A and B are shown apart, each in its own frame.
Chain A
Amino acid sequence: MQSRLIVKNFGPIDFVDLDLRNVNVFIGPQASGKSALAKLFTIFKAPRKFLSLENQSSNDRIAAFKNVLEEYNIVSFLKLNTEIIYDSVLHRLSFNGGKIAYEPKLYNKITGLERLNEEFTLNKDLIQDYIIKLCNDYYQFEEQFSELLGIELNNSEINEYTEFNDVTSKEVLKALQIINKIEIDLSSNSSLYIPAERSFINIIKNSSLNLLLNNVPIPKHILIFGAELEKVKMKSIDLSFLSNSLSYRNINGEDRIFINRDSIKLSESASGIQSIVPVLLIVLSHNILSKHRSLVIEEPELNLFPTAQYELIKLIESKRIEPLWEDDGAIHTYTTHSPYIISAFNNLLYANKVLNVLGNNKSKDVKTITTTTINPNTFTAYQIKDGTASSIFDREAGLIVGNYIDEASDKMSDDFDALTELMKK
C-alpha cells in the first residue's frame, strides 16, 4: 500500500516528498519535524474527521483544518506559503495558497456506481466490472458482498468468472451501502497517533473529572489516543518478552501488572511497562479486528532496555497484518531516536532477505533467530534534518544505510579517540 506526502514550508520543514508504505520509519534530531510529518500523515490519512463532503465553505474547511492542526499542537507551523499534498488510492487532499482541495477518489467511484445502478439493465456489465474492481481492492467488501450474494469464496476471489447473472439492482444497492460504510470508516477512523506521552493517560485516568473542572489544558491528540484506549476490550497481554511471568491484566476496569500471582497497579509499575502497555493494547486489539488502520507510534523505545526495544519491534511487527487490500491490515509508522530500534528493523529486513535467498530449506534456521520479518518492498525509512528528508533505505540491498543515529555513535568514538590522543601526549 503506497501513498505520497509532500510538505513545503511547514514549521521546520522546507521541502519533503515522502513515498510511504506499510512500515515507515522517521529519524532525526529534536525539532527536525519528524513528529510533525507523522502527525500530518495521521491527519491527512483520515480527512473526514475534519472535512465534510457536503456544503462546507472554503472558510469552514480552513477553520476545521486549523482546528485539527491545533489538536496535534502543530498549527503554529503553518506559514503563508505552506503547501501539503497527500495522495493515496482512497483520496487526494491538498492545502495550498490557504485553500483545501479534497478529491475523495473512492467516494467518487461509489457515486459513479450509484448513477450506473439507476439504469441497471442497461449498465449491468459495467456495474459488474465496477464490483469486481472493488472486490480486488477491498477485502472486507469482497467478504461482505459475497456473503450477500450467497457466494462461497473458498479461498478464491470474485473475478470476471464469478456468476453475476442473478445480481439485482437491489443487491447492488446493498453492495453500495457496504462500500459506503467502508469508505466512511477508512476516511474517518483509519489512523491513530500513539503519542510519546502515552503513559500519561494511565496516570490521569482516575482524575480526569478534576482536570476538566480545573481547565487543565491537555493536548487533544493525547485525549484522542486516551479515548481510543478506552474502547479497547482486551483484558490481558503476555509481557514475558520483558521478563519471565510478567503480564498485564485488566481486573474490573483496573489496569494491573502481574508477576506470577502478585500484582501491582500499572501506574506503579516500571516506566517502560507503562509506556509499552498502551501501545500493545492498540496494536493487539487491532490485530483481532483486522480492519485497515494506520498507526503512528512515537518513540517505541521509551524507557526500555535495548533488548526489550528489539523484542517490542519483533512483537509489534509480528502482529501486523500486511495490508494487501485497501480496507484490511495495518500500516505502522515509527518515529525514533534509538539505534536499537533502527537495528531491530534492519535485522527483520535482513531476515526476510535471508529467507528469500535461501528458500524454505533454511526457514527453520531463520525462525530459530526470529519468527518476524519485514518485506523490504513494503518498507521505507527517512531521516529528517535541516528542513528536508532523505531516504536511509537502500532499496536494492533491502537494508538501512548510513544515518544520523549511526553517525552519533561515530561522533562519540571520535571524541574518545581525541581524548586518547591527549593522554598519549
Chain B
Amino acid sequence: MKQLIQDIFGDCKFPDTDCNGSFENTNLFKFHVCDPPPEHNKPAKIVSDIDEYQLTVINNNGHNIWFVKTDKCLLENDKSKCDCLLFSDEIFCFVEIKNSKSSSRSTQRAKAIEQLEATIINFKGNGINFSHIITKAIICFNSNNDYPIQASKKTQQAIFAEKYQVSLEEGNKIEF
C-alpha cells in the first residue's frame, strides 16, 4: 500500500517544513501523533508521551505501521485533505485531528468530515482499492466524551459506510 501511495502521489511537496519526507514507519507498541497548531505551518508528526499530542496509537502486536503526513506534506494545498494516514497490512485509517479552541466541536466536526471525505474520494479516484482492508475515517478531538447519543453522528457514519465503505469514528486512540 505504501508503495502504491508513493507511486501515485510522490513525496513531500513542502521542503521548507523540514519533515524528512511524508512516509515514516514504526513497530513501536505505543506512540503518539501531534498536529502542530496552524500558525506553525508544519505537518503532523510522531511524538513521545512527554510531548503534546492529540492521538495515541496502540500497537500491542508490534505490526509494521506506516504513518503518512498528508496535510502540508504529501498532498498539494489546492484540495481539501485530512491530516495524516496510519495503516498496517490489515487496517487503514484516514485521520483528521481537531484541536482548535477557536471554534465549536460541531463546526470542527463538519469541517473534518469534509476533509476526510475529500481525501477518501481523492485516493479512490486515483485507483487505490480498499476492499481488502478494514478502512476507518477518524476524527480526533482533544477529549472523547460520550455525551448523549447524537443522531446526526450516526447518520454521518451510515452515509460514510454506504458511500465509501469506510467506518467513520471519533476518538483519540487507534488500536492496530
Contacts and interface: CB of A to CB of B under 8 A. Distances in A.
Interface of A: 306, 339-340, 342-343, 345-347, 350, 353, 392, 394, 397, 399-403, 405-407, 409-414, 416-418, 420-421
A413 B101 CA distance: 12
Interface residues on B, range: 20 to 34
A45 to B, nearest CB: 27
Contacts of A421: 101, 142
Nearest to A346: B151
B158 A418 contact: no
Interface of B: 101, 104-106, 109-110, 141-143, 145, 147-155, 158-159
Contacts of B158: 350, 353, 397, 399
Contacts of B152: 392, 400-403, 406
B147 A412 contact: yes
Contacts of B150: 339, 343, 405-406, 409-410
B151 A397 contact: no
Nearest to B149: A343
Contacts of A353: 158
A413 B151 contact: no
A418 B104 CA distance: 11
Given A402-B106, A402-B110, A412 B155 contact: no
Given A410-B105, A413-B105, A420 B154 contact: no
Those 5 A-B pairs whose CB atoms lie nearest each other, nearest first: A406-B150, A410-B105, A399-B155, A409-B147, A346-B151
Contact of B106 (A346, A392, A407, A418): A407
Contact of A397 (B101, B110, B145, B159): B159
Contacts of B105: 410-411, 413-414, 417
A416 B145 contact: yes
A350 B159 CA distance: 11
A417 B141 contact: yes
A410 B149 contact: no
A420 B143 contact: yes
Nearest to B145: A413
B149 A414 contact: no
A322 to B, nearest CB: 22
Nearest to A394: B155
A314 to B, nearest CB: 15
A406 B104 contact: no
Contacts of A392: 152
A406 B132 CA distance: 34
A122 B147 CA distance: 71
A413 B142 CA distance: 10
A410 B106 contact: yes
Contacts of B153: 406
Nearest to A399: B155
A417 B54 CA distance: 12
